[in-house]
């Protein structure tokens, strides 16, 4: 099969898997409650980032690497870069609860008044 088509297939599989897994992970965490203390919101942010990172690591190490090897594209630098971008954008971008909490916390930062405008 054409190498370009194999790479497109691999990246497409990545996207489908990430679109399936990301909302499930996000569902395990609560949405922002502005009445919660700041330390609790920070703990939830750290926890969700750690979980997303661990799942990303294990998914890459045990699933995606095996798929790359079976398709014969495991030493392709372009595939690595494109895959990393896709994972970062899709996997993290679909963590809506995390994004809301990060936006809230960043607006509470003492230096945010110097850099952020509403």
The pLDDT of residue 46 is 94
The pLDDT of residue 71 is 85
CB neighbour burial string for 43-64, b if at least 16 within 10 angstroms, e if fewer: ebbeebeeebeeebeebeeeeb
The pLDDT of residue 77 is 85
pTM over 0.95: no
Local confidence pLDDT in tens for the 118 residues of the chain: 688 888 888 888 888 988 899 999 999 999 999 999 988 999 999 999 999 999 989 988 888 888 888 888 878 888 888 888 888 888 888 899 999 999 898 887 665 566 655 5
The pLDDT of residue 112 is 57
The pLDDT of residue 117 is 57
Q: Which residues contact 78 (CB under 8 A, 6 or more apart)?
A: 7
Rounded to the nearest 5 degrees, what angle is found at the Cα of 89, between the Cα atoms of 4 and 34? 170
Residue 18, in any domain of the structure: no
The pLDDT of residue 73 is 86
The pLDDT of residue 32 is 92
The boundaries of the domain holding residue 51 are: 3-13+23-111
What are the backbone angles phi and psi of residue 103, rounded to the nearest 5°?
Answer: -65, -40
Domain count along the chain: 1
Residue 46, in any domain of the structure: yes
Residue 39, in any domain of the structure: yes
């Amino acid at each position: 099969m054409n190498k370009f088509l194999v790479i497109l297939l691999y990246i497409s599989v990545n996207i489908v898997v990430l679109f399936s897994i990301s909302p499930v992970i996000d569902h395990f965490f609560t949405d922002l409650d502005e009445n919660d203390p700041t330390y609790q919101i920070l703990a939830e942010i750290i926890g969700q980032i750690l979980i997303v990172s661990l799942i990303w690591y294990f998914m890459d190490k045990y699933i995606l690497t095996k798929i790359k090897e079976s398709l014969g594209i495991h030493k392709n630098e372009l595939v690595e870069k494109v895959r990393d971008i896709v994972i970062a954008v899709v996997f993290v971008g679909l963590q809506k609860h995390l994004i809301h909490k990060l936006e809230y916390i960043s607006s509470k930062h003492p230096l945010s008044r110097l850099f952020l405008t509403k």
